[in-house]
Structure 1
């Protein structure tokens, strides 16, 4: 009977499934239109949900197979608390259910990569095996080494005429170095992205809901995490850095500085900055916009450079950054196949399409790897063969 409690559910599995998506008892109760005390009773083993309730818990809230709730104990998984130790506990506790699910999806992509490539990275050169970063090392020199590994000159960067082109080029440079770059539209807007280390198949995962200039900066920030051999999760609101323990604070400041130095080489910036008036806070914003356009970065990144040089006050910088952030509205909609193609690592998507074409994996397997329905595969394949967006 649908109204009868399901027998054989392990209460520990119910608690585990809830906490691994960052939901509180109250949030689950509100979703099911039940009282929190009833959810607590299930998790204590005093009662159990009905079959329709269990289905909603499994498929809608926790995104787990129904069978998992009948296991003798929770399966071994790496939690965000164990992975992203550079974040304060308070910040980890504010991660939304969607962010937990994005991290889980990134792990699924990493498993898929291992199934496709085994323990071999298909890139000719793996940057993390050739370069490593040191917080105590020379910042400009380390950033230049990364640029040289990419093979991206400042002249080429300046020639990129839009932030869409710039994001595509920087992303391609990172992927050519063996790092797989995925994206998704996060519901938690203050998350810029995260990275997952692996000896052979590391991943960077970006929030596609942010502007393209923010994605570029986040891409290089997370790359710095990988080159420090540390999993990282970065937030758009940099105020959280002030709450970090000192060692973690210095690490995040360093990763921001490396990303900025790669994008805006200090020597060239010094030359360009000479064109600005002494009082930059009174200067027209068009000057900042023009300089941001030169490097394909945001006005905030340019203003941060001036802050680091002591040419604007922190109050001015923070006020401007908040005002600009409120103005940024990434474009939505568009072609579904183009959007889905942009979310996936280009090398990963092409490998799946290639293997299906050669008959090495089935349509169902290919669709499962790509996270799409089999009926959508033909259109997606066409888009991948044509070349996806940024």
Structure 2
């Protein structure tokens, strides 16, 4: 009986489970070591897997409870392609299964937090209630409002002894402001992180396999998304921005600029670089390193952005 075809599973459940983790029929067949025709037949309803095959599909491939496959229809669940607008369509279509699973896990965290805190945010002062951003407003003023709400002065930032201390400091300040921050290592290395907007329990999820300075920049980039009241999904290489529609390009560049301005306030940066040559090529790595360490950033995660816009 155990190796006979399973009955009672609607074919559309198979397709929903596959699409919900970004896999193709060929991908699933390879993971099961079956022919693609078998997987396609399960989704068409002309064949059915055995119980051991269904267990493998549920627990190892789709990462779903077995009971889900016996529902009368697929549950309501928003796909990342509809949930995020900050990556080009081509990039959204190539999200790795691992990234889908991280996004699903983040939603589960939000639900758990809602149950744990009885639908309330435990923070006393919610940053998105007092700070909202607009791409049309002066950048420095908006970044300063973020700093003030987080309670991070430039003097406090400079005192952080390492990038590890800086990441802990920024993270604690943002969590104290009501935004939950989670970290995990992504197999899709080019993803820097994402955020899920919510009026009560917003969440930022960082790729823990990137450098600490990159995580700091990503943390503030995603915070900017939340203060624009939108979800965000970002990559390390900013080249993806050029492939976005004009409106989304403006938003992504704005979020990068806000993150850079919060980390490296223009007024202080101009004072620190007033003696720099107009041609930056002769600058030594030592000079760059000293400037980066002042703010707890790397050249890639903020300093280059500030140099381009201020020098």
Provide TM-score, normalisation by structure 1: 0.78
- Alpha-carbon distance in structure 1 between the residues aligned to 2:22 and 2:279: 47
Partners of 1:288 and 1:303 within 8 A in 2 = no
Partners of 2:86 and 2:234 within 8 A in 1 = no
Give the aligned partner of residue 216 of structure 1. Answer: 216
- Alpha-carbon distance in structure 1 between the residues aligned to 2:278 and 2:233: 37
- Alpha-carbon distance in structure 2 between the residues aligned to 1:247 and 1:41: 42
Find out whether 1:192 has 2:187 as its counterpart: no
Give the aligned partner of residue 248 of structure 1. Answer: 248
Q: Following superposition of structure 1 onto structure 2, how do residues 33-48 of structure 1 map, counting pairs within 5 Å?
A: 33-48=33-48
1:296-337 Cα deviation digits (max 9, x unpaired): 00122212212223x5xxxxxxxxxxxxxxxxxxxxxxxxxx
Give the aligned partner of residue 314 of structure 1. Answer: none
Q: Following superposition of structure 1 onto structure 2, how do residues 164-179 of structure 1 map, counting pairs within 5 Å?
A: 164-179=164-179
In structure 1, runs of 5+ residues without a counterpart are: 312-390
Give the aligned partner of residue 307 of structure 2. Answer: 306
Q: Following superposition of structure 1 onto structure 2, how do residues 83-102 of structure 1 map, counting pairs within 5 Å?
A: 83-102=83-102
Tell me the SS of whatever aligns to 2:281.
Answer: helix
- Alpha-carbon distance in structure 1 between the residues aligned to 2:112 and 2:101: 16
Give the aligned partner of residue 20 of structure 1. Answer: 20
- 1:280 Cα offset (Å): 1.0
1:147-177 Cα deviation digits (max 9, x unpaired): 0111111011001010000000000010110
| RMSD of aligned Cα (Å) | 1.0
1:89-139 Cα deviation digits (max 9, x unpaired): 211111100000000100110011011112211111001011100000000
- Alpha-carbon distance in structure 1 between the residues aligned to 2:9 and 2:244: 40
1:348-383 Cα deviation digits (max 9, x unpaired): xxxxxxxxxxxxxxxxxxxxxxxxxxxxxxxxxxxx
- Alpha-carbon distance in structure 1 between the residues aligned to 2:67 and 2:155: 56
- 1:86 Cα offset (Å): 2.9
- 1:70 Cα offset (Å): 1.1
- 1:10 Cα offset (Å): 1.0
Q: How many matched pairs?
A: 310
Partners of 1:128 and 1:226 within 8 A in 2 = yes
- 1:3 Cα offset (Å): 3.0
- 1:279 Cα offset (Å): 2.2
Partners of 2:297 and 2:303 within 8 A in 1 = yes
- 1:207 Cα offset (Å): 0.6
Provide TM-score, normalisation by structure 2: 0.97
Q: Which 4+ runs in 1 deviate beyond 6 A?
A: none
- 1:221 Cα offset (Å): 0.5
The range that moved more, 271-280 or 38-47, is 271-280
- 1:85 Cα offset (Å): 2.3
Q: Following superposition of structure 1 onto structure 2, how do residues 1-390 of structure 1 map, counting pairs within 5 Å?
A: 1-300=1-300, 301-309=302-310, 311=311
- Alpha-carbon distance in structure 2 between the residues aligned to 1:8 and 1:216: 49
Tell me the SS of whatever aligns to 2:134.
Answer: coil
Partners of 2:189 and 2:209 within 8 A in 1 = yes
- Alpha-carbon distance in structure 2 between the residues aligned to 1:68 and 1:234: 31
Tell me the SS of whatever aligns to 2:147.
Answer: helix
